[in-house]
Amino acid sequence: MEEKEEYKTLNINSTLYKTRLSKKFENRKPFKPADPCLVRSFIPGTVVDVLVKEGSELKHGDVVIILDAMKMQNRLKTHVDGRVKRINVKSGDRVTKGAVLLEMERVAGPEAEDSEES
């Protein structure tokens, strides 16, 4: 009868079912839309070079960081027009996948809006 305690409630199309939940389901992460102002490492690797400084004014598509991963020098770009707000890494740093390497802030103005989509 101890089994019964494992049962939880799962809502599928408004019907509530008594059932066990899988680890995968219980550990699922809430969805967060990507913030275009953050430059993240899309792959784990080592920062080879930071090409900009805090306060630099950049255009969408400008290369900001060179990340060495899988024997490739990957060029990471900004996805917005704006100013570099913070740089979280320096050359030589090893970074995990998804780490925020650099933060941008948008500069007010109509063009910034235009190039948001990448």
Partner 1 sequence: MSLEKKIHDLNEKRRKAMLGGGEQAIEKQKAMGKRTARERITDLLDKDSFTEYDMFVEHEARDFDMDKKVLPGDGVVIGTGTIYGAPVAVFAQDFTVAGGSLGLAHARKITKIMDHALRMRMPLIGINDSGGARIQEGVNSLYGYGEIFFRNTLASGVIPQISVILGPCAGGAVYSPALTDFVFVVENISKMFITGPEVIKTVLGEEISMEDLGGARVHSEVSGNAHFFAKTEEECFEQIRKLITYIPWDNTRKARMFEPAEPKPGFDVGKIVSDDPTMPYDVKDLIRAIADNSDFLEIQEMYARNIVIGFGRLGGRTTGFVANQPNEMAGVLDVDSSDKAARFIRYCDAFNIPIVTLVDVPGYLPGIDQEHAGVIRHGAKILYSYSEATVPKITVIIRKAYGGGYIAMASRHLRADFVFAWPTAEIAVMGPEGAANIIFRKEITSAENPEEMRKKKVQEYKEKFANPYVAASKGYVDAVIEPSETRKMLLHALDVTENKSIPRPHKKHGIPPF
Which residues here bind partner 1, judged by CB under 8 A?
7, 10, 12-22, 24-25, 28-29, 31, 44-45, 69-70, 94, 96-97
Largest Cα span, the chain: 65
| Shortest distance in whole angstroms from residue 31 CB to partner 1 | 4
Residue nearer to partner 1 on the CB measure, 75 or 97: 97
Residue nearer to partner 1 on the CB measure, 70 or 108: 70
In whole angstroms, how large is the CA radius of gyration of the chain? Answer: 21
Residue 89: Cβ within 10 Å count:
19
Phi, psi torsion values for 2, nearest 5 degrees:
-65, -25
Residue 65: Cβ within 10 Å count:
23
| Shortest distance in whole angstroms from residue 100 CB to partner 1 | 17
| Shortest distance in whole angstroms from residue 75 CB to partner 1 | 19
Residue nearer to partner 1 on the CB measure, 48 or 112: 48
Residue nearer to partner 1 on the CB measure, 63 or 99: 99
Question: How distant, in Å, are the alpha carbons of 53, 65, 76, 85 from that of 101?
Answer: 13, 8, 10, 11
